[in-house]
Amino acid sequence: MASPETPEGKETPAERPLIMRYAARSDVGRIRSKNDDSAYVGRHLAVVADGMGGHAGGDVASASTVLDMIHLDHDDYPEGAETVLADEIQTANSLLSELVHQNPKLSGMGTTVTALLLEDRKLHFAHIGDSRAYRLRNKKFEQISIDHTFVQRLIDEGRLRPEEAETHPHKNVLMRVLGDVDASPELDLDVLDVEPGERWLLCSDGLNYVAGHVVERMVRETKDLRECAEILVDLTLEAGAPDNVTVVMLEIVEETDDDVNTAAVDVVPAAALAAVDEPEAVTAAKPTEGPSATKSAEDAPAEPKEKAAREAETGSSFSAGDPGATDEESVEASTSEDGSKEPPITTDPHLGEHLSAEVLREELASRPHELVGAAATAAETGSIPTVAGRTVARRAATVLTHKAEQDRLDVEEPARRRVRWLMPAVAAVVVVGVVVGLWLGYAWTQTRYYVGEYDQRVAIFNGISQRLGPIQLSRLEAVTDIKVDSLPEYGQQSVRQTVPAGDLDDAQAIVENLKNTGSASANCPTTAPATATATPSPTSTVPVPSTAAVATPSPVPTPCEAAK
């Protein structure tokens, strides 16, 4: 394709792709016993993660998140990278939940994430937590990220001044973070225009112990990126460094011919990886003739696919802190007469674990990068927290083996179906029984009546006076003109406590009795008035005058008499 021409007819040079120049450093600090920070930076991806949870697994959270994202470090996104960074961070969040499910001791762990993904002339930005991203462009130095902390919220609401934030007792309380507490955490996302020459600083909150104006001066005045990262970490250590500190310095530049020539980095062969840990694999097949299983750099590109496919078949992966895992696969491949290699045979029970570490290292070796902090320790020691399943090679192997796994499921399905129908059937019968019982009970209540109070008047209700949760089991039938307050005390209590009736006629009779006698009782007993009568004493021999009489006490008045 011809280059565009200027009005004078001269060709203008085509724009070169943009890449990152970078440097990174991480330090455990003066006080902490282990480094919970992790960072990765390459030509198109930069990410800093600050783990939380202390001994509960802050290093596991940051390492697994960073190692899960390293495969994004490329510029080949045919459909665009608008959602790639956010989707991968959400996937990393799901991985943390899986790790906690496998090992409950990791419960409560989490991590911050601040990441940049360079695509063409756009910079995709994603952020959660209190790690920070600063940009120096056109002589303007500014913080691009916003801290997701309790103190920052107080500042945003005007309840705290920025200068008071550093001494606030809750300055380290995070409001948003990756971890097992939120299945879909809210991220700050943005797509920024990028210019050659602009600088970025990504750091964990350990750098906050260096004054902001000092950090800005170092970024402005220190031309060498490596030297700038070293100075910033050294300044943090001089300030006491009570926390881990991680610094990533990067500069956006145009790609040169030297960058293109060194872009294809040879994959580390298996023999080189074996030097890291002592071999434990068992060789079950000896080579007859031809080359051994250790591949040259020319054969290396096909190697990750074969190993990843075998890894997927084993179903094995590392767990956090898994000791005894090595990184060598001492397996030799036999060669047929036509020179093609046959699949190697092995009896190593830890084959899947070795491949998990090896696949990750091969991916790291496939491009220029810098890995620091807990993620670097995990990659070097092989204590990889189940991240191999997230690599490109493992994903491809999963796709290749999916059909075979589905076939096995189809074979087992008929045997399972005989049992699976029982539980739904039992559940359906129980649900139907409960529904029928509730309906019959409700229908019975609607045949009952009672007298009660409505708007301070005596009223007749259809149903019963109870409630079933939010459902009232009665409805108003009729309201009389009898005020409850006009009834005697005994009648008021009866109405307010409700008087049950067998049917509507009984309820009307109760209302009539309340109106006439003030009592809810249908039959009011009557008592004859007290009179003085002469009652001769059976034991007395003395005659009693005719005017004398024995007083008989009057009975206690009933509610009906009280009403009269």
Those residues whose C-beta lies under 8 Å from the C-beta of residue 71, and which sit 6 or more positions away, are 363, 390, 391, 392
Mean pLDDT of 393-397: 42
| CB count in 10 Å sphere of residue 15 | 10
Residue whose token pair is 């898994």: 322
The pLDDT of residue 78 is: 86
Superfamily of domain 14-250: PPM-type phosphatase domain (3.60.40.10)
33-36: long-range contacts, CB 8 A cutoff, minimum separation 24? 34/59, 34/374, 35/59, 35/244, 35/373, 35/374, 35/377, 36/61, 36/62, 36/244, 36/374
Segment 400-411 mean pLDDT: 41
Closest C-alpha among 320, 304, 306 to residue 363: 304
107-116, 163-172, 324-333, 423-432: range with highest mean pLDDT? 107-116
What's the rounded Cα separation, in Å, for the pair 66 and 29? 20
- Higher model confidence: residue 28 or residue 476? 28
Chain length of the chain:
564
496 has pLDDT over 90 = no
Q: Which SS3 state, helix, strand or coil, does residue 1 take?
A: coil
Burial of 184 (0-12, 13-18, 19+ CB in 10 A): exposed
Look at residues 173, 178, 134 and name the one whose alpha carbon lies nearest to residue 151: 173
pLDDT computed for residue 385 by the predictor = 65
Q: Which residues contact 209 (CB under 8 A, 6 or more apart)?
A: 236, 239, 240, 241, 242, 243, 245
pLDDT in tens, 179-223: 877 778 999 999 999 999 999 999 999 999 999 999 999 999 999
Nearest partner of 127 among 114, 111, 146, judged by Cα: 114
Residue in this structure with the two tokens 């956010």, named with its chain if needed = 86
Residue with tokens 């009970």: 441
Q: Choose between 220 and 465: higher pLDDT.
A: 220
Phi, psi dihedrals of residue 35, rounded to the nearest 5°? -95, 115
The confidence band for 11, taking pLDDT boundaries of 50, 70 and 90, is: low
Question: Which of 42-46, 58-62, 219-223, 440-444 shows the lowest mean pLDDT across its residues?
Answer: 440-444
Chain-centroid distance of CA 125 in Å reads 21
List, for residues 320-376, the tens digit of each pLDDT value. Answer: 333 333 333 333 333 344 444 444 433 334 333 444 677 788 888 888 999 999 999
For the segment 376-404, the average pLDDT, to the nearest whole number, is 56
For residues 521 and 497, the model is more confident at 497
Question: What's the pLDDT band for 172 if we cut at 50, 70, 90?
Answer: confident
How much is the pLDDT for 82? 86
Q: How confident is the model at residue 13 (pLDDT cuts 50, 70, 90)?
A: low
3-state secondary structure (DSSP) of residue 139: coil
Alpha-carbon torsion angle 459, 465, 471, 477, nearest 10: -30
Model confidence pLDDT, tens digit, residues 415-444 = 455 556 788 888 889 999 988 888 888 787
Distance CA 500, CA 507 (A): 8
Q: For 424-453, b where at least 16 C-beta lie within 10 A, e where not — what string?
A: eeeeeeeeeeeeeeeeeeeeeeeebbbbbb
Average pLDDT over residues 38-49: 97
In the prediction, which pLDDT does 177 show?
92
The pLDDT > 90 percentage for the chain reads 32
pLDDT at 418 (0 to 100): 52
pLDDT value of position 348: 38
- CA-to-CA dists, residue 393 to 83, 249, 329, angstroms: 21, 29, 17
pLDDT band at 559; cut points 50, 70, 90: very low
For residue 271, what pLDDT is reported? 42
Q: What share of the chain is helix, strand, coil (3-state, %, to 5)?
A: 40, 20, 40
- pLDDT at residue 529 is higher than 80: no
Phi-psi region of 140 (alpha: psi -120 to 50; beta: other; left: phi over 0): beta
User: Range with the lowest mean pLDDT among 12-21, 110-119, 401-410?
Assistant: 401-410
Q: Which two tokens stand for residue 254?
A: 């145009």
Q: What is the 3-state secondary structure (H, E, C) of 346-392?
A: ECCCCHHHHHHHHHHHHHHHCCCEEEEEHHHHHHHHCCCCCCHHHCH
Kindly report the average pLDDT of the chain as a whole number: 73
For residue 419, the model assigns a pLDDT of 58
Domain with CATH 3.60.40.10 in the chain: 14-250
Paired tokens of 291? 């080359």
Alpha-carbon distance of 72 to 79, in angstroms, equals: 14
pLDDT in tens, 262-321: 544 443 444 444 444 443 333 333 333 333 333 333 333 333 444 344 333 333 333 333
Average pLDDT over every residue of 5-18: 66
The pTM is what?
A: 0.56
41 has pLDDT over 60? yes
Looking at residue 306, its pLDDT comes to 42
Residue 416: phi and psi, rounded to 5, are: -75, -30
What tokens appear for 234 in the block? 């050294």
Residue 147: exposed, middle, or buried by beta-carbon count in 10 A (0-12, 13-18, 19+)? Answer: buried
Residue 540 has a pLDDT of 41
